[in-house]
Amino acid sequence: MNRAPDEYIKESPAPSSNQESIRQDKKFSALFETSVPDTVPGFELDEKDAAKMEEYWPAGELAANRVGILIEIFHFLMNFY
């Protein structure tokens, strides 16, 4: 992976928003009214592991932007050296 990072780490295309009509679709409208569960049955973490996951993978747009910046720095350094 260190020899050819561009083969493994690539920027994904920007996501596009759903069409407004999808919210009235019989098949998919319920998805937009469903809350996201805190855990998935059978995949719960103990408190210690859950705290580590929150530390390593924080939620939110700010955290996602920080990851994006780190990827840009990584690419810069890989091309610099």
User: Across residues 53-64, what is the average pLDDT?
Assistant: 87
What residues have CB less than 8 Å from 57, skipping those under 6 apart? 63
pLDDT confidence bin for 23, thresholds 50/70/90: very high
Residue bearing the bigger pLDDT, 1 or 29? 29
Distances (CA, A) of 7 to 1, 11, 15: 8, 11, 21
For residue 66, the surrounding DSSP H or E stretch is: helix 61-80
Show me where the domains of the chain are located: 43-81
Residue type, 37: P
Q: Is the pLDDT of residue 6 over 80?
A: yes
Averaged pLDDT score across all residues of the chain = 88
What are 45-49's contacts with CB under 8 Å, separation 24+?
none
